[in-house]
């Protein structure tokens, strides 16, 4: 398994319910808006939307290499 990034908002190298929670808390917000969390902007387009959710869903319950 390689290094996993899309969907891993808390940098633990695993896409799980914690990452989903971070995305859910900032869903439908854009950069500069109250409550926006850039960790959930997986495609780096300045907004947390269905595209970011798709990246998380694609990798949900998966992990990558151990981080040292």
Is 60's pLDDT higher than 50?
yes
Kindly list the structural domains of the chain, giving each domain's residue range(s) and its CATH number in brackets, ordered by start.
1-68 (1.10.1330.10)
Give the angle 11-14-18 at the CA atoms, nearest 5°. Answer: 75
Is 67's pLDDT higher than 90?
no
H runs (alpha helix) in the chain: 17-26, 50-59
Q: What's the confidence (pLDDT) of residue 6?
A: 85
* pLDDT tens digits along 11-59: 898 999 999 999 999 999 999 999 999 999 999 999 999 999 999 999 9
pTM of the model: 0.83
Q: What's the confidence (pLDDT) of residue 3?
A: 64
Place of tokens 């989903």: 20
């Amino acid at each position: 398994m390689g290094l996993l990034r899309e969907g891993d908002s808390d940098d633990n190298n695993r896409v799980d319910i914690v990452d989903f929670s971070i995305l859910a808390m900032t869903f439908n917000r854009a950069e500069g808006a109250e409550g926006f969390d850039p960790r959930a902007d997986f495609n780096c387009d300045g907004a947390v939307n269905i595209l970011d959710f798709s990246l998380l869903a694609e990798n949900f319950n998966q992990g990558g290499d151990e981080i040292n």
